Amino acid sequence: MADLTPDGPSVRIAAQMAFLTEADRLKSVLRASKLADGSRRENSGEHSWHLALYAMTLADHAPEGVDITRVMRMLILHDLVEIDTGDVPIHSKNGSVHHSAATMAAEARAAERIFGLLPEDQAASFRALWLEFEAGESPDAVFARSLDRLQPVMQNIAGGGGSWLEYSVTWPQLKERVGVKIARGAPELWDWVREKARPWFPHQD
């Protein structure tokens, strides 16, 4: 007979499965970025998976001391709050609210709810990783956030300009909103991708 006590395995498994079922909703959150072939918009679940693969593949460009396993865990978790808040494209007209106090408060509430579905120990561990990513101060978080900015750039390059054209992004905006973050965690990657992106912004300083 299954152990149904408050700390029993059946209760723990039920909580873990509830979290995993809720996480499936991230696949329905559409982003501004399109797939590399331009056929449709990417969803946030796909984005998170792709970022984990970015971390694995580009690990040799991480600064010394960065733990790629922790980076991958952060990237898998970082956008789960969008189940409640949706995605705010950084280059859209509402991009100014991307890191506003209201947005950050809404995301904090979402993190509390979503991670709170888990058993207490996992809830605390997952939420701590999410908070570390959001703070963007630890070496692991800085590198993770640089990849989070890098991936949409590569999607737009592969897709013929993508959301840059849709939102009339300028070269100074790209450098300020994206380039600074990439360069902080992975300067070598920004040096490379900057040259690939530059042709999409002719005659702009």
List, for residues 39-88, the tens digit of each pLDDT value: 999 999 999 999 999 999 999 999 999 999 999 999 999 999 999 999 98
Q: What pLDDT is recorded for position 5?
A: 58
Phi, psi of 30 (to 5 degrees): -90, 145
Label residue 31 by pLDDT band (50, 70, 90). Answer: very high
Question: Is 138 contained in some domain?
Answer: yes
> How many Cβ atoms sit within 10 Å of the Cβ of residue 148?
23
Proportion of the chain in helix, strand, coil states, percent, rounded to 5: 70, 5, 30
- pLDDT at 4 > cutoff 60: no
From CA 17, how far away is CA 34, in angstroms rounded?
Answer: 30
Q: What pLDDT is recorded for position 74?
A: 98
Question: Is 119 contained in some domain?
Answer: yes
Question: Is 102 contained in some domain?
Answer: yes
Question: Is 3 contained in some domain?
Answer: no
Question: Is 4 contained in some domain?
Answer: no
List, for residues 93-108, the tens digit of each pLDDT value: 654 555 678 889 999 9
Label residue 91 by pLDDT band (50, 70, 90). Answer: confident
Instruction: Identify the domain containing residue 170 by its residue range.
Output: 9-200
Region for residue 172 given its phi and psi (left: phi exceeds 0; alpha: psi -120 to 50; beta: otherwise): alpha
> CATH code at 113?
1.10.3210.10
Question: Is 90 contained in some domain?
Answer: yes
Predicted TM-score (pTM) of this structure: 0.92
Count how many domains the chain has.
1
List, for residues 123-171, the tens digit of each pLDDT value: 999 999 999 999 999 999 999 999 999 999 999 999 999 999 989 999 9
Question: Is 1 contained in some domain?
Answer: no
Question: Is 141 contained in some domain?
Answer: yes
